[in-house]
Amino acid sequence: MFNVKSLHPQCPNALDLLHWMPWFNKDPDGTFAGGHPDQGYLCTDPVAVTEIMGAAKQCGFDGAFVDWYGFDRIENDATFVMLKVCEALDLKFGLVADPGMFDLMPSGMAKQDFLISQLLRAGGAYLNNNAYIKDENGKLLLLEFSIGGVNWPAIVADPRFSQLHIVHENSGFAWWHSSPDNPVQLAAEQNVYIPSAFAGCTDTSSWGKNLNRNIPFNNGQTLLSVLKAIPSTARFIQWVTGNEAYSVPGLTVGEEGTGFLGNILKAVGLSAKYPKVGILPIGTVFDAAPVVLPTLARRRAERRKVIA
């Protein structure tokens, strides 16, 4: 059976964490929320999520980071389900604060105040849970996906959040790209690594690099070389993204952003039970054909257009 840890033997103590998108839910009218396709499971269904994360555990994953959209929305219901599943399966759990949380910010409220209110509520709901991911110093690892317009240093200095280790995805993350002119990009002090080139990727202006160059998938060899470059001291490897799938106008079928969840389900013999979950062709890693997908940032941007 496939085991993700076999891909980075040099850092056996690193936690492999599945990036989970809590998107696959139904609105009250029965349609799928946010225009996302029917994947044959709901992120709010604890039975399905338990089976899926059980499969991930069999494949060597240690838990999940959930894209978190704040409270009072169906994605938060799904986030709470994942927390309870991780507890039950003895897996780790963490949050990636997404700027989508501001969609429900009350009119006239400052972003800083709204973010603080969400983080304070998260303390009781998520952060104080025993399953929550901690760094090497015992601080709670909170990731944030390019949330702008707030004073992060003030939040870090706020004694109410002294237990948090906040990692800024737009600068603190190491997006590992392996190509002749871009061997590695590393923020070692954060000790969080993302093998984002698992299916090929593109540097775009959305990441502030303005390089607009494609990094070839190379039939799985890009991912393998990226994983080999992660140092032995790595603590966390975040796999972007585990269960992502799109039905977005303007994107071709080959660009829909299917995550590698289908590959995990296939590895444990559950493909027939979840036939709508796409199986990502990720080359020699999972013995399939090559494909190049758009960046996570672009796909998220496309999703926001659909929702708007």
Domain regions of the chain by residue span: 4-307
CA-based nearest residue to 221, from 296, 294, 290: 290
| 114 vs 203 pLDDT, higher one | 114
> Using one digit for the tens of pLDDT, what is the confidence trace for 238-275?
876 678 765 444 433 333 345 678 888 888 999 899 98
DSSP for residue 58: H
The dihedral built from the CA positions of residue 298, 2, 143 and 171, taken in this order, carries a sign that is: negative
Q: If you average pLDDT over residues 115-128, what whole number do you get?
A: 96
- What is the rounded CA–CA span in Å between residue 92 and residue 76? 18
Residue 112 binned pLDDT confidence (cut-offs 50, 70, 90): very high
Per-residue model confidence (pLDDT) at position 32: 78
Residues whose CB falls within 8 Å of the CB of residue 46, separated by 6 or more in sequence, listed in order: 81, 84, 85
Residue 226 binned pLDDT confidence (cut-offs 50, 70, 90): low
Q: Which of 110-124, 201-215, 217-231 has the lowest mean pLDDT?
A: 201-215
Q: What does pTM read for this prediction? A: 0.81
Which residues are bridge partners to 237 per DSSP? Answer: 16, 193
Per-residue model confidence (pLDDT) at position 26: 85
CATH number for the domain whose boundaries are 4-307: 3.20.20
Q: If you average pLDDT over residues 94-114, what whole number do you get?
A: 94
User: Most distant CA pair in the chain: distance in Å?
Assistant: 53
| 269 vs 2 pLDDT, higher one | 269
